[in-house]
Structure 1
Amino acid sequence: MDQANVNFGASKITVYGDTTIEELEKAGAFESLQLVPEDAPLPEKEKKSFWKTYQKEALSILFILLGYASFFTYGEEHGFTITSFAAAIIIGGTTLFITGLKNLSRLDFDMRTLMTIAVIGAAIIGEWGEAAVVVVLFAISEALETYSMDKARASIQSLMDIAPNEALIKRNGQEVTLHVKDIQIGDIMVIKPGQKIAMDGKITQGSSAINQAAITGESLPISKAEGDEVFAGTLNEEGYLEVEVTKTVQDTTLSKIIHLVEEAQAERAPSQHFVDKFAKYYTPVIILVALLVALVPPLLFGASWGTWVYQGLAVLVVGCPCALVISTPVAIVTAIGNAAKNGVLIKGGVYLEEMGAIRSIAFDKTGTLTKGTPEMTEYHLVASNSPDPMGWIAALEYKSQHPLAAAILQRADEKQIDYKQIEVSDFSALTGKGITGKIDGITYYIGSPSLFKNKAGYDEQITERIHDWQAQGNTVMLAGTDTHLHALIAVRDTIRKESSTIIKQLSELGINYTIMLTGDNQRTANAIGNEIGISQAKAELLPQDKLAFIKSYRDQYGSVAMVGDGVNDAPALASSTVGIAMGGAGTDTALETADIALMGDDLNKLPYTVKLSRKALAIIKQNITFSLVVKLAALLLVIPGWLTLWIAIFADMGATLLVTLNGLRLLRVKDN
């Protein structure tokens, strides 16, 4: 084995080189390490009784009680008193001592090394009772810490258990139940009402309401029909479905989410880097301080060796950086796990912290603040006595790939115009201006006002109408020939009904500046921005202009988050402090390019993400501050000689438990 990386948040070990599970379990025998391959099912956990789980701690407490009973009856130097305390130390501290002595032999001074030195030293100077209490309290705090971390890890385990391991597959005219590892791309999966979907795929037969809460966090079921995508781990609520499998079990959206969340929980946040660097220098300093406390008063001032060696040992115990080291990881693991369960994928502690500090957010307009499905709002014939040009307008737009074309074709369909039969020749797109083509030998144009400015029929009345429509948030197109202007068309992208509420909620959370970025004209952008409540609308931007804006904004103000669809806005998302992609469940690009992905196409997750990040950042700061203040306060007790092993262990273990429990409060942050 060349190298091993341990991800405590996900309970995973990644090994590089040749080894076996048996060898790894042997290496971790003192911690009762049990390993299974990543793609194998986890073994059923044996339900242990309270006694079996905590028998070491219980036996140690029993011997401590016997020791103190003997202490008050026969005195502290009686053989039974010392034997009882020694038994408590050995039973409760075996694992601690083995690890501590190994570390000591390698001059690796971690918290177990400091504890081992302190307990052995206390026993040597005759403080058997306090040494035993230190060992038991350390064992109890370790057990509670393990319980707390297991609770934080449970969010990942719950994701793993979402999708079924088997599915009903149609093969060679027969239905067979197969394990997901044996299902191939192209297989037809049968899903009955009330069943969970085992694999990603496309519906080939049937329709139903699908509950996607496990993936996207959406509480309401989504109607799905033939051609729609479905995801592993989602629930088929009512209809019979046949689904063509499109991804292997390793590549499903759920598998990618789990993998990315595990990586995110292992990634160190800026505050954790600070803590690690601090602890590297802090621990040797504590050992030096403990040595000085034990030696200086007796050597220079003739003080009692017993008293000051005891004080030095207490400094070692209180100086253990347990609370400081665990202060950040427990908060990050808990927050990222909570977010994943609520349909938000945060790809690392660094983005969690940065999102918590964000005060401004830029939004792409189309598909983010708006639905991305335009509708035709106005239609004006320039010459009311001439034939309706909708037929040739729709025929030209039918050849176009522009998003706005769909709105015109929908209106033509409503009017039952058979535009598909109209023959168009010499069709071409006029970059940035519109389209043109010939019908019956006549050249027709559809495009922006700038395309028609120098053509016949473009007068002041037309200009005024265009400005009015644009001021209402419409994109205006004109249709005509070289000699006549035939019609004006206004198309508007539908604003998401929740957009204005989201902007208001973000403002209440302290996001003081919101910017909308769009390729539309400035009047349309201003109208939509005012309706939603955006602070500023930047218009007529190409993708490279959005990127330039984000870069200049970061240079000027320091940080900005960007919300987009993860495809067209990939450069701007990558350049922002935190890139947030919409609809991550449907696009691999969003999962790969964004720092945070809102798995559903739902802006409502954004305030929750800000709230969770703020809470996590606050808890991390609270934990680090509290850990350092408690240590400092306890160490100051050395000056008058008041620091005892009791105070030291309560200061250290108490602080560790409190920062752990404080981190677990992030489980209570809800997506309202």
Structure 2
Amino acid sequence: MSRIEEHPKNSCCSSESSDITSTPMLEPDTNASCCGTTEKDSPNTSTIEKDSACCGTSEKKKSISGTIEEENACCSTSDGDRLSSSISEKESTCCSTSEKNNSGCCSSEQGAEEKSKQNISPSLALRTYKVEGMDCPSCAATIEKSLGKNESIQSAEVNYGTGKLKVEASSVAVLDEVPKLVGKIGFDIAAPVVNYQAETYVIEGMDCGSCAQTIEKHLSQHPDVKEARVNFSTGKLHIQHTASPDVIMKEVEKSGFKASVDSKGKREETVKSKPKDLRTTISGSFLGLGFISSFTALPEMLSVMFYAVSILVGGYKPAKSAFYSIKSGSLDMNVLMASAALGAALIGEWFEGAMVVWLFALGNMLQNRSIERTRDSIRSLIDLTPSEATVKSGSEWIKKSVEEITIGEVLLIKPGEKVPLDGEIISGASSLNQAPITGESLPVDKKQGDEVFAGTINEHGSIQVKVTKLVEDTTIANIIHLVEEAQAKKAPTQAFVDRFASVYTPIVFILALLIMVFPPLLGFGTWGDWIYKGLALLVVACPCALVISTPVAIVSAIGNAAKNGVLIKGGTFLEKAGAITAMAFDKTGTLTEGKPRVTQLIDLNNNRDDLLAIARTIEEHSTHPIASAITSYAEERHISAQNGTDYEAIAGKGAKAVIDGVEYFAGNPKLFKEMNIALDKVNGEIHSIQNDGGSIVLVGTRKKVLGIIGVSDTIREITVQSIQHLKQAGLNELVMLTGDNDGTAKKIASSAGVDRYFSELLPEDKVKAIKELQAEGKRVAMVGDGINDAPALATADLGIAMGGAGTDTAMETADIVLMADNLEKLPHTVRLSRRTLAIIKQNVWFSLITKFAALLLIFPGLLTLWMAVLADTGAALVVIINSMRLLRQK
């Protein structure tokens, strides 16, 4: 027997016979432990590393791993299982529900293996419960041990501190039994805490809106799915569930379609172009052959064979989809078309049946191509960002994939190149074309310390940029994600149309069946004639054009807006924007530059420097634009702040500070009037500044005014032009809201061209102003910066935030976000919204009129089956093309 060198920390665990396993020339590392059994184990490991333990069983057990890594333990069972992993990971254990001994080796009454998270089957069901009645940690061990005896439960984990039980089982049915199992051992289960995950999948193979409903119905029947929403226009499935992605994709396949996990704005690998589907062409060819042969002396059976092949080839996909639709309890267009084609063949109308199938396939092919163009309007934004970037590595510059770049790395962006990731300029200066993000037509000058966005174009100088956001978190990635979410939300009109279609289709379907049966039974005509009319009615029952009349228009409009620097958060807000009659603007930063400057300084004690030092001391602790203007003015003149204490902001009025034991105030005249300070001596100066459109800041104590500072803000160059375009777009009233005095407000309102203004408003007064406009019967939109104006934005019928680029708060809170920091794109947004409403109305009325006209033509026998299909698919195609006009609106 060869020597085994023991170590002080080496421990050995024995079983019934306490045999010692020996291996020639085997020297375990520090903290290694070995376990014996009644029969000798044969570890095949070449090295047992630190903290490794090998455990025996009652039957011979072989460890077949090449190396058992640090802190790895293999545990005994009664079956002599094999440890089958090639290399077990650090701190991996195979314990079930029993306690672990000091050697790191575990045993169990059942000898069940506990699977690590990496090895859990993706089809396992997971649920978290709240356990009541646990008095101590041993209660948690009792529950774990009890549940571990159930073969259908893979793992049970109790956290005594939080009182939560996490169970992984083979099915949801087993999870439903957990409360009873726990109840039997004396504990109570509260309502389960279900951790639903929200995911988005791309769906392939949908032909119309009813296909989306088929998928929704099928998935809603799955016990692990809380909610499933499919948007035909975007081709996306939004789902909340507790299953794995594999399970969801298999369930979608069961309903006849293909799903893949959405990349959420990340660059996808280039996919080889799919082979063309030639079934429509082949089906049409056999239809043509059948039609030609019917005019020749060839046997009639040959024509029937050609038509039959045409039906089989072209009808395979609709028939397959129809099967899955019926299986999930849906009544979609595939069911209706397949029924019509089959019925036509059964009554001997082979040409009609083949024509139905071919026209249906052709219409779907054209619809899908058109819809793909709409979907690609947003996907193309991903291509605006480069896939590689020049990154600093030591003293060299190397090319690197954007997915591999981390926050803090430095990028080199040369003239003419696109910015690959969001970041901050640390060296250099240039002009950047930000049109892909903000829609601005003119380049923006950027210098050291300024923020740059992925997808923008560096036009002149070379710059170095420190990365601040990963590829999936960039502004353009967020835009794509938010827009796709918005496109998936149903507008009120769409919701109404869907409800109408869900009632209309089954009614017409039942009516078609009645027409096929009752008239011939009552002696009115032949069975063939009435079955034919019933089949035509089945085709007309498909509301495809009506169902897609709204979503395609919404998707097109939202895509157009996004490309022009405007984020519209959903169809609801797009419709609201089209119905707005009045628009209110916050003055500072919206109509004006938001960067006021000091234009006048009047000192009443002949000591300008002292006055400015006091003003700077008070205003340095405020973030208000006027305070910043005063602080900057003092800095430019090298006037330092004094030592102040007890700083306090006085909402809507000003601020104060204590300097050398004296309270000093800087604020508007209202503040000093409330302190009963006479302003008679300075009224002339106050009125003069106000008449020039300036804001007043009085500086003084509780007893007197020491001086007056006049601050003015300039109107943005684009503001006047935008206001005029909004009036041309049909807005009845444009209103300005400001905290300035009446004189200043009047002058700025006149310069900007607004119709009405509310002055001297505190933040809460802006909400009252919005409500006052609404009380006058107006539908009001509020335009602000998305942060300070949040209450007013929320109160208005529509909240519009400016300067969304780089401002996460604005992008999250407002209904519509103007990515640029000006009103340039606002008139376009209003016009686009109004045109969208007009197109939706056109689509809905066209769809309804087409349907009712077809219904009326069926009974006189003027509408053939192929004409009914042409009316349906043709109407759908017209609706799509009409909606796509919104993509091209400039």
Q: Would the TM-score normalized by the shorter structure come out above 0.5?
A: yes
Alignment check: 8 A CA contact 1:216 1:342 kept: yes
Deviates more, 1:450-459 or 1:511-520: 450-459
Give the deviation of 1:216 after TM superposition: 0.7
Distance 1:65 1:127 in 2: 15
Q: Closer, same or farther in 2 for the Cα pair 1:429/1:566, shift >3 Å? A: same
Give the deviation of 1:458 after TM superposition: 3.6
Work out which of the residue numbers 266, 276, 283 in structure 2 matches 1:60. 283
Alignment check: 8 A CA contact 1:581 1:596 kept: yes
Give the deviation of 1:163 after TM superposition: 1.6
Question: Superposition pairs for residues 582-601 of structure 1, below 5 Å?
Answer: 582-601=802-821
Structure 2 counterpart of 1:91, one-letter code: V
Alignment check: 8 A CA contact 2:290 2:302 kept: yes
Q: Closer, same or farther in 2 for the Cα pair 1:442/1:299, shift >3 Å? A: closer
Match in the other structure for 1:494? 714
Q: Closer, same or farther in 2 for the Cα pair 1:61/1:438, shift >3 Å? A: closer
Give the deviation of 1:74 after TM superposition: 3.9
Query: SS state of the match for residue 390, structure 2?
Result: strand
Distance 1:277 1:444 in 2: 65
1:46 matched to 2:267? The reply is no
Structure 2 counterpart of 1:246, one-letter code: T
Alignment check: 8 A CA contact 1:36 1:42 kept: no
Distance 1:530 1:632 in 2: 54
Distance 2:665 2:793 in 1: 36
Alignment check: 8 A CA contact 2:340 2:539 kept: yes
1:392 matched to 2:618? The reply is no
Match in the other structure for 1:194? 416
Q: Closer, same or farther in 2 for the Cα pair 1:472/1:301, shift >3 Å? A: farther
Work out which of the residue numbers 132, 151, 169 in structure 1 matches 2:391. 169
Deviates more, 1:462-471 or 1:483-492: 483-492
Deviations 1:400-449 (Å, cap 9, x if unpaired)? 124213434555566xx3312x6344574562544556778987654323
Alignment check: 8 A CA contact 1:391 1:418 kept: no
Match in the other structure for 1:516? 736
Deviations 1:203-254 (Å, cap 9, x if unpaired)? 1111111111111111211111111111111122222222222222222111
Query: SS state of the match for residue 204, structure 1?
Result: strand
Deviations 1:437-490 (Å, cap 9, x if unpaired)? 677898765432345558888436x32442343233221223456777554332
1:546 matched to 2:766? The reply is yes
Match in the other structure for 1:478? 698
Query: SS state of the match for residue 296, structure 2?
Result: helix
Distance 1:450 1:560 in 2: 30
Give the deviation of 1:533 after TM superposition: 2.0
Distance 1:56 1:217 in 2: 43
Q: Closer, same or farther in 2 for the Cα pair 1:445/1:97, shift >3 Å? A: closer
Work out which of the residue numbers 667, 675, 680 in structure 2 matches 1:459. 680
Question: Superposition pairs for residues 90-169 of structure 1, below 5 Å?
Answer: 90-169=312-391
Distance 2:397 2:304 in 1: 72
Deviates more, 1:85-94 or 1:394-403: 394-403
Gaps of 5+ in 1: none
Alignment check: 8 A CA contact 1:581 1:590 kept: yes
Match in the other structure for 2:304? 82
Question: Superposition pairs for residues 287-298 of structure 1, below 5 Å?
Answer: 287-298=509-520
1:231 matched to 2:450? The reply is no
Task: Report the structure, 1 or 2, having the larger helix content.
Answer: 1
Structure 2 counterpart of 1:63, one-letter code: F
Give the deviation of 1:393 after TM superposition: 1.6
Alignment check: 8 A CA contact 2:367 2:877 kept: yes
TM-score normalized with structure 1 length: 0.91
Distance 2:414 2:362 in 1: 49
Alignment check: 8 A CA contact 2:255 2:324 kept: no
Distance 1:645 1:27 in 2: 32
Deviates more, 1:308-317 or 1:432-441: 432-441
Query: SS state of the match for residue 625, structure 2?
Result: coil
Question: Superposition pairs for residues 23-42 of structure 1, below 5 Å?
Answer: 24=249, 28=253, 33=258, 35=260, 38=263, 41-42=267-268
Give the deviation of 1:170 after TM superposition: 2.4
Give the deviation of 1:553 after TM superposition: 3.8
Structure 2 counterpart of 1:62, one-letter code: S
Gaps of 5+ in 2: 1-122, 124-223
Question: Superposition pairs for residues 553-564 of structure 1, below 5 Å?
Answer: 553-554=773-774, 556-557=776-777, 559-564=779-784
Work out which of the residue numbers 647, 652, 668 in structure 1 matches 2:867. 647
Alignment check: 8 A CA contact 2:533 2:859 kept: no
Match in the other structure for 1:370? 592
Query: SS state of the match for residue 348, structure 2?
Result: coil
Alignment check: 8 A CA contact 1:10 1:153 kept: yes
Alignment check: 8 A CA contact 1:101 1:116 kept: no
Query: SS state of the match for residue 371, structure 1?
Result: coil
1:423 matched to 2:642? The reply is yes
Give the deviation of 1:530 after TM superposition: 2.1
Work out which of the residue numbers 625, 630, 633 in structure 1 matches 2:845. 625
| Bigger Rg over Cα | 2
Distance 1:26 1:438 in 2: 70
1:335 matched to 2:554? The reply is no
Distance 1:318 1:374 in 2: 65
Distance 1:630 1:215 in 2: 41
Give the deviation of 1:607 after TM superposition: 0.4
Distance 2:811 2:649 in 1: 34
Give the deviation of 1:663 after TM superposition: 0.6
Distance 1:412 1:42 in 2: 53
CA RMSD, Structure 1 to Structure 2 (Å): 2.8
Identity of aligned residues (%): 47
Query: SS state of the match for residue 431, structure 2?
Result: strand
Distance 2:278 2:644 in 1: 86
